[in-house]
Structure 1
Amino acid sequence: MSTDHPILDGLDAEQRAVATSLAGPLCVLAGAGTGKTRAITHRIAYGVQTGAYQPNQVLAVTFTARAAAEMRTRLRDLGAPGVQARTFHAAALRQLQYFWPQSIGGQMPAIIDYKAQMVAEAARRLRMSTDRASIRDLAAEIEWAKVSMNTPENYVEAAAGRADVAGFDRTTVARIFQAYEDVKTDRHMIDFEDVLLLTVGILDTDERIAAQIRSQYRHFVVDEYQDVSPLQQRLLDLWLGDRRELCVVGDASQTIYSFTGATPAHLLEFTKSYPEAPVVKLVRDYRSTPQVVELANLLLNGRRIEAGVPDRNVVWPEPLELVAQRGDGPQPSFHELADDEAEGAYVAQRIRKLIEEGTQPAEIAILYRTNGQSETYEQALAAAGIGYQLRGGERFFQRREVRDGILQLRAASRMDAEGSVAQQVKDILSSLGYSETAPAASGAVRERWESLSALVALAEELERTRSGPEQSFTLMEFVAELDERAAAQHAPTVQGVTLASLHSAKGLEWDAVFLVGLSDGLMPISFADDQAGYDEERRLLYVGITRARVHLSLTWSLSRTPGGRASRRASRFLDRIRPRGEAEAIPGARPVKRRRQTGPPTCRVCGSLLSTPGQRKVGRCNDCPAGYDEAVFERLREWRRVTALDAAVPAFVIFTDATLIAIAEQNPPDTAALSRIPGVGRTKLERYGAEVLEILAGQDA
């Protein structure tokens, strides 16, 4: 098969390797910003255009409706419109609806959108007292149990080692889990996990239906494979049967949904299941500047496990080392503010400056760990007169002006109007408040205009990409595109600064990103209390950093309220990635200096948590190799012995063995560095510091 096909033009060597590997299993390890969607959509389109694939026999699955819609749009533009691109749930639901009459019979149950109401009813049946927070936590735990393929009967055993949920022990949670299932049965309803479970059950027990699906879909592509749950993997296995036509794409360093049952194990062990599968690594980062890429690499390398040293707590796979392909940009900035209000004002001030310098508001994002942090930045942006949109708030296609606009566009599409589609859209939406220039007013008027402006911008974009010498883009096609996007909640870009949680920012990117609230307790979050939890938080911060194309700002505050006690400290993850020196001179800013790590310390060799005072003092596990010169250590011990004899005190009073080891390993060059070693206080520094530094310098004390 020729590899000179026009559809391969513009792909780099690794992307081309992905696009031309059409048969058999394939594993693609794709770092952030490396063009993975481009690679796999070109692979599918190349297979379709060369006849290797039939469009209706390809199923591409991913994890969000937006990502699936984006994939369908790209495939359509590449000449492969018949390919199915869906989420796992959407694909399973379509199959379940089709096969329900012949497999189960009767009317298919309704699907509940949210578990909270059912979980609350289950708790009431058991006469248990709950509040909104506990209901939320119980719903999340039930979801975890179901996607991990556990039932109320085996939950207690399966959840061994997991923290108690909402103050309930595992036996009580199992009872609530069973009551929840009973409530659904009584009301003839199912949840989203049931969609997968029921589809798995049908395919597992009815070979005739399984064979029908396998004859329909011959080739599978799974994006974001690091986020696959055991239940989704089981469904994928049943879709495949004994075939091996599977391409998976993922990055273990972007696993951020472990709390929902996602696991990178399937990605990391793919070649065990498919030994013949080639592995292609995409590491050329086309999204971010070298400065942003370097910071992202530093963050992951800060937890890297040295070769040959096992981690006794959790597997940390070797991260992909990204290589920036863009030109230089500004260095990421680090700023410490006095309180949350000062941090919000500073971020708004920086955003105002970026907008004045030409950055579009839609290309700026403020990302935080929890949704509860958004209010500070909403108020700061509003005070600065800067428009914004909350990701995770009211859905775009549910806004009244958007619904009204689509109704008017649909009515107009039935007429034989001529001319530019974009101009027709502008004319039609002008009656609803659209104008070429943004209104001076803020609030609801500005939000309405931004929604309508987003529809106009989408019309202009689609007309530009789908019109050509031999084809024209019509208003009816634009309305059909809007209907499809509304069904998938694939909203167009709104001209406002985006406020979003780090989790909801996955898969998105902006020219400028502000990572805010980066203090211990928020990043990592306070309930991350073991190595696996800290690793997940590190990956979450990595996702945040890699959302930025050019400008990246990392900020934190010392107090929640003005005048409050400065009890916060910068995130421990920043220790190894932020520069030494002072912060930029800004109102409310504090000096940015390196500090000792706070929170549970980790081994500097293997990254494991350190459990004893001696281990914490030397900074490594007992089993990890020492990193010091034995001759230097022996000179220090001999000096200590003589000094102790002269002072007529036990040797450990001078320095303990652990402190001597730490001194030998860290080899401090001056008194300032020596003073930072645990066990070296001011008195000992004044009394013994000069002699210790002479020994380290190779001199006889």
Structure 2
Amino acid sequence: MSSLGSAASETSLTSSKAPAKADDLLDGLDPEQRAAAVAPRGPVCVLAGAGTGKTRTITHRIAHLVRSGHVAAGQVLAVTFTARAAGEMRSRLRALGVEGAQARTFHAAALRQLRYFWPRVVGDQQWDLLEGKLRMVGQAANRVGAGTEPEVLRDLAGEIEWAKASLISPEDYPAVASRLQRDIPESPARVAEVYRMYEQLKTAASQLDFDDLLLHTTAALEEHGTVANEFRDRYRCFVVDEYQDVTPLQQRLLDAWVGGRDDLTVVGDANQTIYSFGGASPKPLLEFTRRFPEAAVVRLERDYRSTPQIVDLANRVIGAARGRPAGSRLRLIGQRPDGPAPRFGEYDDEPAEAAAAAARIRELLDSGVPASEIAILYRVNAQSEAYEQALAELGIPYLVRGGQRFFDRREVRQAVIALRQAAASSPEGELADLVRRVLAAVGLTEQPPQGGAAKERWDALLALVELAEELQRTVEGATLRTYVAELEQRASAQHPPTVEGVTLASLHAAKGLEWDAVFLVGLAEGTMPIQHADGDERAVEEERRLFYVGVTRAREHLSLSWALSRHPGGRRNRRRSRFLYGLLPEEHPAARVARPQPKSAAGKAKCRVCGGPLMATMEIKLGRCGSCPSDLDEELLARLKDWRVERARELKVPAYVVFTDATLVAIAEQRPVDHSALVAISGIGAGKLDRFGAEVLAVVRGAS
């Protein structure tokens, strides 16, 4: 069993590549970044807008504390939310000459600690980690009589994750879910039964899921004084990145780590809170100074990533948000030279939109923009297919983020084995040259093959060479053994090198990344914001923040587009996203279309029972006041729900993606007889009408 934090040597204050003076670390930081870096030990809150250099700031803060002798490197624990971000932080700290500081995800840090303390707090053989919970959730659902369709199981698993991240037990779940009106695949009581049975099955199998890592580590620190004392003696300084995404469970673990001390630096941006569905909340970030009144607060607003044109658009996107708390009102200030204005495109259908994006990407490639510096971002993964086809038709290489992991690829595994064998013989020579020679034996040729799978394999091997070149530049005296150790660390953290190809990714997966050119596609109502967010102002505002995250991923080129129909020849009745109104230049043809006014704002929504004005979102959806009697057709509602289950199963999507419960209730109350009556129901847009309108009207008429 390795010691907590791995080795006593990690507490060393020096490294082989330390700057001559601590002040040298501050060269190149702007005044605000410098203020955060040199703030004394104690509570520090960094409100960092997109592109303002937050990772640079916090790594320089850690390095400054270490170089100034305020803390030993091995006494620092920095946590973030993705393995990639943690790997990036470690790389930057190493380049600053700091070895031994721990930079990990919450779950990786908890796993390391739990394994170390397990013999003391449990005493028997360590439990296995459950890699995926769907199979066990399926067993639990089957035992309690809940649905076991794949989409239902995914929803149940997600709901269990949300409950555990929110510190909600199976016993408390029904009341909380009902109060929050959670959109769930079963009744709250039935979901609680699945949740309880899942926990029982998992415990009987002596297994832990990822949330258990945080729960059990927290319990070990809270309930065992000797464990807490040893941990707190080992770690003295804490840094939390992306603090706006912390869940109640993560915050409780952080509190157990800190243990009443105040040597805590948090960094975040409430404008980029996009994981509320998983229990995340910006509340701890926004209330940090209430908890620590003496905290130093630094605002980073100088945007070094994007051109002023993109920064201006981003400010207008987030500036239209409703109910922004004071701590989230960062206004980015562009620092780069001027660039091209963002492009807006309206297309007849999705294939035409995809073809236009691919054609523009070809122009960018021909002008010298690398394929790895271009991304197509969409709201849901199902949108990628049209863009994969359009890029393939033009022979443009692409990578779908969330597909096969880089280090799991066959050619990469073979390359790592060959490199490990070569490193054992301690060969002489420049690192990059050595790596090229080794990889030549497993398929790396001087010239790339012509497209296809062979080109993808070649690109992956070339990425390994480029990583060796980077290591050679940043680490003095780097050897092949150093390089292999770096590969193994990256593999364990799933922090791959850059592979040449256009990135296709969802907006959520793009968080924390950036590219020279970004294409935000599918920006139509029902997709952005997503259909099931409509009617919930908080959900719509989170969709706006997600859109803001997409805009701020772009450095120089930004294209925004939408299609009026899903298929060629289809009805062109979609509307562009509400988030685009006020953003298009006046000369754009679509800008001349008047922005639709919400019915409640226009004062035109009237109760169909008493004729009074409707103001609340749910009242508008139902078409009646909350105090007026319901004329719900229970039999029709049951038929609509049965139809929704079948369509969701066919489409392999959660039921709420077809229609939410609230929309089905509105249909069962109003019983529309034609398309115009159906689309008049709030929440049924052009896309839903085009796809499901005829079927819904048939169900209303009683047809099968």
Q: Is the pair's TM-score, using the shorter chain for normalization, greater than 0.5? A: yes
> 1 CA distance for matches of 2:200 and 2:592?
56
Q: In structure 2, which of residues 579, 582, 592 is the aligned counterpart of residue 576 of structure 1?
A: 582
Name the CA shift for 1:118/1:601 in 2 (closer, same or farther; >3 Å).
Answer: farther
Name the CA shift for 1:603/1:411 in 2 (closer, same or farther; >3 Å).
Answer: farther
Q: In structure 1, which of residues 399, 402, 406 is the aligned counterpart of residue 416 of structure 2?
A: 406
Are 2:555 and 1:556 aligned? no
Q: Which moved more, 1:122-131 or 1:255-264?
A: 122-131
Give the drift of 1:127: 2.5
TM-score by length of 1: 0.82
Q: In structure 2, which of residues 101, 108, 115 is the aligned counterpart of residue 83 of structure 1?
A: 101
Equivalent in the alignment of 1:444: 453
Q: What letter is aligned with 1:240?
A: V
Give the drift of 1:203: 1.1
Q: What letter is aligned with 2:572?
A: A
8 A contact 1:334–1:592 mirrored in 2: no
> 2 CA distance for matches of 1:603 and 1:55?
60
Name the CA shift for 1:67/1:611 in 2 (closer, same or farther; >3 Å).
Answer: farther
Q: In structure 2, which of residues 19, 30, 42 is the aligned counterpart of residue 12 of structure 1?
A: 30
Are 2:484 and 1:479 aligned? yes
> 1 CA distance for matches of 2:327 and 2:148?
40
Equivalent in the alignment of 2:467: 458
Question: What does residue range 159-198 of structure 1 map to in structure 2 within 5 Å?
Answer: 159-198=177-216
Give the drift of 1:425: 1.2
Give the drift of 1:81: 1.0
8 A contact 2:565–2:571 mirrored in 1: yes
Question: What does residue range 214-293 of structure 1 map to in structure 2 within 5 Å?
Answer: 214-293=232-311
Equivalent in the alignment of 1:517: 522
Deviations 1:338-392 (A, max 9, x none): 1111011000000000000000000000000001111111111111100001111
Name the CA shift for 1:4/1:466 in 2 (closer, same or farther; >3 Å).
Answer: closer
Q: What letter is aligned with 1:23?
A: R
Are 2:406 and 1:428 aligned? no
Gaps of 5+ in 1: 305-312, 584-590, 605-609, 618-701
Q: What letter is aligned with 1:528?
A: A
8 A contact 2:51–2:305 mirrored in 1: yes
> 1 CA distance for matches of 2:324 and 2:273?
14
Equivalent in the alignment of 2:231: 213
Q: Give the secondary-structure state (helix, strand or coil) at the position aligned to 2:564.
A: strand
> 2 CA distance for matches of 1:613 and 1:146?
32
Q: What letter is aligned with 1:458?
A: L
Give the drift of 1:579: 1.6
Equivalent in the alignment of 1:642: none
Q: Give the secondary-structure state (helix, strand or coil) at the position aligned to 1:450.
A: helix
Equivalent in the alignment of 2:3: none
- What is the Cα-based RMSD across aligned positions, in Å? 2.1
Q: Give the secondary-structure state (helix, strand or coil) at the position aligned to 1:160.
A: helix
Q: In structure 2, which of residues 544, 550, 553 is the aligned counterpart of residue 544 of structure 1?
A: 550
Equivalent in the alignment of 1:698: none
Give the drift of 1:602: 6.6
Are 2:30 and 1:21 aligned? no
Q: In structure 1, which of residues 352, 357, 360 is the aligned counterpart of residue 370 of structure 2?
A: 360
Equivalent in the alignment of 1:385: 395
Q: What letter is aligned with 1:325?
A: Q
Deviations 1:411-439 (A, max 9, x none): 11122322221111112112222234322
Q: What letter is aligned with 1:53?
A: V
Are 2:350 and 1:340 aligned? yes
Give the drift of 1:160: 2.6
Equivalent in the alignment of 1:596: 595
Q: What letter is aligned with 2:469?
A: E
Q: Give the secondary-structure state (helix, strand or coil) at the position aligned to 1:541.
A: helix
Equivalent in the alignment of 2:361: 351
Deviations 1:291-349 (A, max 9, x none): 00000000011125xxxxxxxx8858542100000000000000011111101100000
> 1 CA distance for matches of 2:517 and 2:65?
37
Q: What letter is aligned with 2:422?
A: A
8 A contact 1:335–1:592 mirrored in 2: no
Q: Give the secondary-structure state (helix, strand or coil) at the position aligned to 1:326.
A: coil
Name the CA shift for 1:602/1:457 in 2 (closer, same or farther; >3 Å).
Answer: farther
Q: Give the secondary-structure state (helix, strand or coil) at the position aligned to 1:161.
A: helix
Q: What letter is aligned with 1:22?
A: P
Identity level (%) = 55
> 2 CA distance for matches of 1:162 and 1:176?
19
> 2 CA distance for matches of 1:282 and 1:435?
46
Give the drift of 1:22: 3.0
Name the CA shift for 1:564/1:396 in 2 (closer, same or farther; >3 Å).
Answer: same
> 2 CA distance for matches of 1:3 and 1:333?
47
Equivalent in the alignment of 1:612: 615
Gaps of 5+ in 2: 1-19, 604-612, 621-704
> 1 CA distance for matches of 2:96 and 2:592?
51
Deviations 1:223-259 (A, max 9, x none): 0000000111111111111211000000000000000
Give the drift of 1:111: 1.1
Deviations 1:125-162 (A, max 9, x none): 11333211111111111101001101101111222333
Deviations 1:192-233 (A, max 9, x none): 111111111111111111111111111100000000001111
Equivalent in the alignment of 2:676: none
8 A contact 1:26–1:277 mirrored in 2: yes
Question: What does residue range 142-153 of structure 1 map to in structure 2 within 5 Å?
Answer: 142-153=160-171
Are 2:497 and 1:492 aligned? yes
8 A contact 1:3–1:20 mirrored in 2: no
Give the drift of 1:519: 0.5
Equivalent in the alignment of 2:650: none
Give the drift of 1:165: 4.5
> 1 CA distance for matches of 2:597 and 2:461?
48
Q: Give the secondary-structure state (helix, strand or coil) at the position aligned to 1:563.
A: coil
Give the drift of 1:568: 1.2
**Between Structure 1 and Structure 2, how many residues are aligned?**
590
Give the drift of 1:71: 0.5
> 2 CA distance for matches of 1:404 and 1:172?
48
> 2 CA distance for matches of 1:56 and 1:502?
35
Equivalent in the alignment of 2:657: none
Q: Give the secondary-structure state (helix, strand or coil) at the position aligned to 1:559.
A: coil
Q: Give the secondary-structure state (helix, strand or coil) at the position aligned to 1:438.
A: coil
8 A contact 2:244–2:270 mirrored in 1: yes
Q: Give the secondary-structure state (helix, strand or coil) at the position aligned to 1:171.
A: helix
Q: What letter is aligned with 1:334?
A: F
Name the CA shift for 1:564/1:428 in 2 (closer, same or farther; >3 Å).
Answer: same
Q: Give the secondary-structure state (helix, strand or coil) at the position aligned to 1:10.
A: coil
Q: Which moved more, 1:101-110 or 1:366-375?
A: 101-110
> 1 CA distance for matches of 2:70 and 2:417?
41
Equivalent in the alignment of 1:140: 158
> 2 CA distance for matches of 1:603 and 1:10?
52
Q: Which moved more, 1:31-40 or 1:174-183?
A: 174-183
8 A contact 1:28–1:280 mirrored in 2: yes
Name the CA shift for 1:75/1:4 in 2 (closer, same or farther; >3 Å).
Answer: closer
Name the CA shift for 1:600/1:437 in 2 (closer, same or farther; >3 Å).
Answer: farther
Name the CA shift for 1:315/1:30 in 2 (closer, same or farther; >3 Å).
Answer: closer
Give the drift of 1:116: 1.0
Equivalent in the alignment of 2:699: none
Equivalent in the alignment of 2:702: none
> 1 CA distance for matches of 2:314 and 2:324?
21
Q: Give the secondary-structure state (helix, strand or coil) at the position aligned to 1:511.
A: strand
Equivalent in the alignment of 2:533: 528
Q: In structure 2, which of residues 88, 91, 110 is the aligned counterpart of residue 92 of structure 1?
A: 110
Q: What letter is aligned with 1:525?
A: I
> 2 CA distance for matches of 1:392 and 1:593?
39
> 1 CA distance for matches of 2:544 and 2:600?
14
> 2 CA distance for matches of 1:497 and 1:31?
26
